[in-house]
Copies of this chain bind each other. A is one copy, B any other.
Amino acid sequence: MVYGQEISFDTQGFSDIKDITDGVNGVIGASKMNQGIACISVIGSTASVSTMEFEPALSKDIQDQLEEFVPKKKITRHSKTWGDDNGFSHIRATLMGPGIAMPFKDSQLILGTWQQVVVIDHDNRPRNRKVYVQLLGE
């Protein structure tokens, strides 16, 4: 069985981190499936999906780390070519990847106690961000 649904939400950009665990579990609930794989994929080339202990101090640590690795002031060929100044966002997104696949069972994602599914929006402006959740299972 296949069941797919888009989730959308607002972000501030600049690697703003949003917890989408409840959103994904909501899609699993709507599908009436018990177990399977959830493919969670960002639409667009400037955001990433991962998991973390979602708490404000760690969110800031991760943002600082990304800023250390690929600063938002970084001069890129992409920004010079297209004039949209978000070359750093693209680099961060491609290196982290656009999505993850997670198992679910008993109609819930299989996660640790302090583990949430997050979207990190690296773009250089506030956006309405869309994530597609595709479920396969039974």
Q: Does A102 contact B (CB under 8 A)?
A: yes
Q: Is the CB of A138 within 8 A of B2?
A: yes
Q: Does A30 contact B (CB under 8 A)?
A: no
Known interface pairs A37-B101, A65-B70; A112-B78 also in contact (CB < 8 Å): no
Q: Is the CB of A35 within 8 A of B2?
A: yes
Q: Is the CB of B110 within 8 A of A37?
A: no
* Identical chains in the assembly: 3
Q: Which residue of B lies closest to A117 (CB)?
A: B98
Q: Does A8 contact B (CB under 8 A)?
A: no
Which size class do A's interface residues fall under? 35 or more
Q: Complex Cα distance A120/B23, Å?
A: 28
Q: Is the CB of A51 within 8 A of B105?
A: no
Task: Determine the chain B residues whose CB is within 8 A of the CB of A53 once the complex forms.
Answer: 45, 78, 90
Q: Is the CB of A39 within 8 A of B98?
A: no
List 15 A-B pairs, Cβ < 8 Å: A4-B35, A4-B105, A35-B134, A37-B136, A41-B110, A45-B112, A51-B93, A51-B98, A53-B90, A55-B78, A55-B81, A62-B95, A65-B70, A99-B100, A103-B133
Q: Is the CB of A94 within 8 A of B55?
A: no
How does the 8 Å CB contact mask read for A35-77 relative to B, with 1 for contact and 0 for none?
A: 1110101011100001111010110111001000110000011
Q: Is the CB of A51 within 8 A of B45?
A: yes
